Amino acid sequence: MSNNIVQFPSKKKIKVDNTGGRTREHILFTDDLTEGLVVNMIHNMSENGINVDHPDFLRDTAFLIELVKSMIYRDGGVSHPLQDFTKLFIEYTEEDGIRTMDIDLDMIKGVSDELFGDDDPTMWDDDPDDTAS
């Protein structure tokens, strides 16, 4: 019966890839940091008279949250779809030690017009308090 025993090498080290665990930790860290930053910003804006309950503000905030996550993810080596978005619309240059970032608002407007049409003025204004029709 002892012939059925298989001997495994006892000195072989097993490597465990913990990339998934580190990525998960970074995502949790990102969520916590983003929440703290955005809550602080919203509170500060509210104290300065900004209507933080307006649907447009809430949409902008949702986009901002994802943008902040994208920034932190990039630092941790985690990809996010907005990283490509920023590369597309923002040009980064460095000359003589001076860093410059230019956002191409015309390109963003062109993409928006292409997707949604440029002849719908109400698309950008869904102010529930606006009674002018």
Res. 11 pLDDT band, cuts 50 70 90: low
Cβ neighbours of residue 90 closer than 8 Å, sequence gap 6 or more: 101, 102, 103, 104
Rounded mean pLDDT of 8-33?
A: 79
What is the average per-residue pLDDT within 95-106? Answer: 94
Phi, psi angle pair for 99, to nearest 5°: -95, 135
According to the model, what pLDDT value does residue 4 have? 73
At residue 118, the 3 state secondary structure works out as coil
User: Which pLDDT tens digit goes with each residue over 103-132?
Assistant: 999 998 998 899 888 765 555 555 555 544
Q: What is the pTM of this model?
A: 0.69
Residue type, 29: F
Secondary structure in 3-state letters for 4-40: HCCCCCCCCCCCCCCHHHHHHHHHHHHHHHHHHHHHH
Give residue-wise pLDDT tens across range 74-90.
999 999 999 998 999 99
